[in-house]
Amino acid sequence: MPMTRWLGRATLALAATSSLAGCEFAGPQSTLDPAGPVAQAQLELLAWSYWLSWLVMIAVFGVLAYVLVRFRRRRSDPDAVPQQFHGSVPLEIGLTIVPVLIVIAVAVPTVRTIFATETRVTPGPDDVVVDVTGYQWWWRFEYPELGIVTANELHVPAGTRVILNLDSADVLHAFWVPRIAGKRDLIPNQNNQLWFEVSEPGNYSGQCAELCLGAHAYMRLRLIAEPQAEFDAWVDRFTSAADRPVQTDPQVQRGHQLFATKGCTNCHTIDGYRAGTPVGTPDFPNLTNFGLRTTLAAGNLDNTRENLAAWLRDSQAIKPGNYMPQLWSEADPNADDEIAAIAAYLLSLGSDDSTLTQATLGGSDGDR
């Protein structure tokens, strides 16, 4: 059973590669440091082909080196005419079979992994389903079964299968969180699906991997995998957001007003902002429970008071090309106060008066 032996060797190779990854090739977006079964299967295939390719390289470059040394033109006899042979049928048949065997050795595990990782699945009762819509240059995440709409941070329970339905509102995008799963494109008028499972709770970073012009390089995202209980608590925060009153802090109260008067409500939705009257449109990032976010500007900055203020003041300096308008002129004397108020209001979202949000406590806990 050569196949079993190969796969056995592939596992060995994988172990070697993983230990390699452990020290040198780990990173928040490293495909060599998988944190879920899909990315793991994809890496195993790479590892298998990687070691096979060493075999090929050693053989080919070994022969090449030998030939170059052995058959170099000698100074002693520069005019020697070597024997003019034109080929050898048995040798050529043999040398055709070698690449055929190599290709078969790669093809068998490839096909197996394709069907194991890319087969379209039907959502079951235990799965978490998220409708992902790509926009220039942010992500809309809607949990249809939970009634949650949010942006740029995808919360999922660890150890549960997550099914993403991918769509785009404008041009092509690609959803890619390297440590969890390979990418899948978001194409208008095409219902693509991507499913994966995250093995361990943690923050995993990803970004758009298909050119979408403008701020494409800044279209990042964070996938936050939590234990089921924390995920459920996060869901509760969202489903109760509309019922939570604005905090009593005067700066927050002022920010709440400015959020409408400065025009933010023209684009951005906040559940329960104004009782009975929805604000914003679905085509811009939904800011409900914004204070629970760990990042802002599509994963570009930690969600701290200072970063949020800098973003509100001059978003183009942080994410060139984005569609946020500049709301304050350079000379506006009220800018500092108003920005601080709006930032305070946004960061208060998601917490009660008595509790402090993750962000007000000093931002995220980093990527890993």
Partner 1 sequence: MAIGRTPAHAGSSAETSLLRRPDGRSGLAGWMTTVDHKRLGILYMLSAFTFLGLGSIEAFLIRLQLAVPNQQLVSPDVYNQLFTMHGVTMVFLAIMPLGTGFANYFVPLMIGARDLAFPRLNAFGYWIYLFGGVFVYSSVFLGGAPDAGWFAYAPLTSLSNNPGNGIDFYMIGLLIAGIGTLVTAMNLIVTIFSMRAPGMAMMRMPVFVWMILVTSFLIIFAFPPLTIALFQVIMDRTFGTLFYVPAAGGLPILWQHLFWIFGHPEVYIIILPAFGVISEVIPTFSRKPLFGYPVMILSGIFIGFMGFAVWSHHMFTTGLGPVANTAFSLTSFVIGVPTGVKIFNWLGTMWGGSIRFATPMLYAIAFLFMFVMGGITGIMLAMPPFDAQANSTYFVVAHFHYVMGGGALFAFLAGFYYWFPKISGRLLSERMSQAAFWVLFVGFNMIFMPQHFAGLLGMPRRVQTYQAGIGLEIYNLVSTAGTFVMGLALAMVVFSVVRAFLSGQRAPADPWDGRTLEWSVPSPPPHYDFTSQPIVYARDAWWAAKHPELAHDEPSHEYDASLFDRGGIHLPGASWFPFVLAAGIFAGSYGVLYHNWPLAILMGLVVVVSTYGWAFEGVGGHHVHPGESAHAETGSA
Give dist(CA 44, CA 40) in Å, integer: 6
Sign of the C-alpha dihedral computed for residues 140, 230, 128 and 206 taken in this order:
positive
If binding is defined by CB under 8 A, does position 100 make contact with partner 1?
A: yes
Which residue number, 46 or 327, has a Cβ lying nearer to partner 1?
Answer: 46
252-271 residues in contact with partner 1 (CB under 8 A) are: none
Q: Which stretch binds partner 1 (CB under 8 A): 54-62, 249-257, 341-349, 352-360?
A: 54-62
138-167 residues in contact with partner 1 (CB under 8 A) are: 166
Give dist(CA 41, CA 34) in Å, integer: 9
Among positions 138, 139, 176, 273, the unique one binding partner 1 when judged by CB under 8 A: 176
Cα maximum dimension of the chain: 97
Shortest Å, Cβ 170 to partner 1:
6
Shortest Å, Cβ 358 to partner 1:
21
If binding is defined by CB under 8 A, does position 23 make contact with partner 1?
A: no
Shortest Å, Cβ 46 to partner 1:
5
304-363 residues in contact with partner 1 (CB under 8 A) are: 320-321
Shortest Å, Cβ 207 to partner 1:
6
If binding is defined by CB under 8 A, does position 90 make contact with partner 1?
A: no
User: Residue 155, SS3?
Assistant: strand
The secondary structure of 158-211 as a DSSP string is TTSEEEEEEEESSS-EEEEETTTEEEEEEBTTB-EEEEEE-SS-EEEEEE--S-
Shortest Å, Cβ 193 to partner 1:
7
> How many residues can be counted in the chain?
368
**The two structure tokens encoding residue 277:** 């009257």
If binding is defined by CB under 8 A, does position 211 make contact with partner 1?
A: yes
If binding is defined by CB under 8 A, does position 28 make contact with partner 1?
A: yes
If binding is defined by CB under 8 A, does position 12 make contact with partner 1?
A: no
If binding is defined by CB under 8 A, does position 20 make contact with partner 1?
A: no
Q: Which residue has the tokens 């409900």?
A: 288
Q: Which stretch binds partner 1 (CB under 8 A): 142-150, 168-176, 247-255, 289-297?
A: 168-176
If binding is defined by CB under 8 A, does position 208 make contact with partner 1?
A: yes
Among positions 140, 155, 161, 184, the unique one binding partner 1 when judged by CB under 8 A: 184
* Partners of 78 in the β-ladder: none
The secondary structure of 251-286 as a DSSP string is HHHHHHHHHHHTTGGGT---TTSSTT---S-TTS--
Angle at 68 between CA 63 and CA 73, to 5 degrees: 150
Preceding amide of 51 cis, omega within 30: no
Among positions 7, 172, 246, 309, the unique one binding partner 1 when judged by CB under 8 A: 172
If binding is defined by CB under 8 A, does position 102 make contact with partner 1?
A: yes
Among positions 187, 246, 309, 356, the unique one binding partner 1 when judged by CB under 8 A: 187
Which residue number, 209 or 335, has a Cβ lying nearer to partner 1?
Answer: 209
**What letter represents residue 113's amino acid?**
T
Give dist(CA 319, CA 302) in Å, integer: 14
Sign of the C-alpha dihedral computed for residues 320, 322, 328 and 334 taken in this order:
negative
Among positions 4, 76, 96, 248, the unique one binding partner 1 when judged by CB under 8 A: 96
Q: Which stretch binds partner 1 (CB under 8 A): 7-15, 60-68, 229-237, 324-332?
A: 60-68
If binding is defined by CB under 8 A, does position 280 make contact with partner 1?
A: no
How many beta carbons lie within 10 A of that of residue 104, not counting itself? 10
What Rg value do the Cα atoms of the chain yield, rounded? 27
If binding is defined by CB under 8 A, does position 188 make contact with partner 1?
A: yes
